[in-house]
Structure 1
Amino acid sequence: MTVAKSSSIVLKEFLKLPETKPASEYIDGEIFQKPMPKARHARLQGKLISVVNEVTEENRIAYAFPELRCTFGGRSTVPDIAVLRWENIEFDENGEPVDSVLVAPDWTIEILSPDQSSNRVTGNILHCLKYGCQLGWLIDPDDSSILVFQPKQQPELCYRQDNLVVLGGVDLNLTVEQVFSWLKMAL
């Protein structure tokens, strides 16, 4: 959904606006509000964050953040999951992460919602890759597939028993089927 604006605004003005729920993103001078997550989206997001952080946080390899605003390259987007390598997380003097993230995530994960533009979401992943992101996933719950993006490579469409590429240094082995099995909660 686009937030109506009579003319495009600059990124600096956008960043001064109050946050919206769900989050809004700034892309090419326009503001787009993300759709409100629904149950399947929230379940996949929560499980992925938990699984990634379980194998990365203790050894300070990386950290998966939900709905983290990342502003870089003239855009301000909010990936469903932004994974940052530990060395790319900026900390304040108290050892807490700085709120403003001004770099591309190292691994960006988007979970497609039924009323979301797949091209716009793909565009955000490609933008991340252009600015240093090492890996992007576009998860489509409707057809149980995951489109994997890596820099300077053709995207790879993964189904069923396909092993998923994860961020280098992350000790995690997942298949597409394992990811979507997390949706089956009532068995």
Structure 2
Amino acid sequence: MQAITLTIPPNLNVFSDDELYAFCLANPELRIERDETGHIIVMPPTGLESSFTSGELFGEVRNWNRQTKAGRTSESNGGYTLPDSSMRVPDVGWVSKERLMSVTSEELKKFAHVCPDFVIEVRSESDNLKELQAKMQKWVQNGVRLGWLVDPQTQATTIYRPGIEPETKLFTETLSGENVLLGFTLNIQEVLTY
């Protein structure tokens, strides 16, 4: 099952940020995003295997952040309102202290207007690869400095950076947080092997 896009009728215009937040609160069973045109995207829940993968990756980034105290880490329920007016929810997100300084504590209670520095998207069984690749490009266009598209189906991770063509590495290769998550490295195969 793929994500579906809901079109808001023209007479209702587009949800404001507060209306979108209220819509999400009224529908807690739905996984909701908004694209830059105002279309509401409803995504099916992932399978348990994808959830395990996302959880392990979140844990690795969170543990690194706990040691460095360089920012904040979000999991797959945290929504970000991006400069293009979309509201997106990465499987794992990390925001530096520097970017968080522009956000009030009240904004953080909703879908704050801040772009994460780093995101991970995990391809689940129901995800369309081309749509996920487009979403990764949108993340970077909106200010993500480093993004990983983790694909358990191909056992590979595609790395996205501004101004550079995406690069793919196998799960057996060690990934680097580069100049975004300083000192962070991750071998996905080692993390996901039990």
TM (norm. structure 2) is 0.80
Letter in 1 for 2:80: C
The SS at the match of 1:155 is strand
- Counting only pairs closer than 5 Å after superposition, residues 21-36 of structure 1 correspond to structure 2 as 21-27=29-35, 28-36=37-45
Which whole-Å CA distance do the structure 2 matches of 1:140 and 1:174 have between them? 15
Please state if 1:137 is matched with 2:166: no
Letter in 1 for 2:43: K
Which structure shows the bigger proportion of residues in helix conformation? 2
Which whole-Å CA distance do the structure 1 matches of 2:87 and 2:108 have between them? 18
Q: What is residue 47 of structure 1 aligned with on the other side?
A: 56
Which whole-Å CA distance do the structure 1 matches of 2:58 and 2:8 have between them? 38
Please state if 1:65 is matched with 2:65: no
Q: What is residue 175 of structure 1 aligned with on the other side?
A: 187
Which whole-Å CA distance do the structure 2 matches of 1:48 and 1:176 have between them? 8
Structure 1 gap segments, 5+ residues each:
none
Which structure shows the bigger proportion of residues in strand conformation? 2
TM (norm. structure 1) is 0.83
Q: Percent identity?
A: 19
Which whole-Å CA distance do the structure 2 matches of 1:42 and 1:164 have between them? 21
Which whole-Å CA distance do the structure 1 matches of 2:181 and 2:5 have between them? 39
Which residue, out of 11, 14, 27, partners 1:10? 14
Letter in 2 for 1:7: P
Of 7-16 and 21-30, deviating more is 7-16
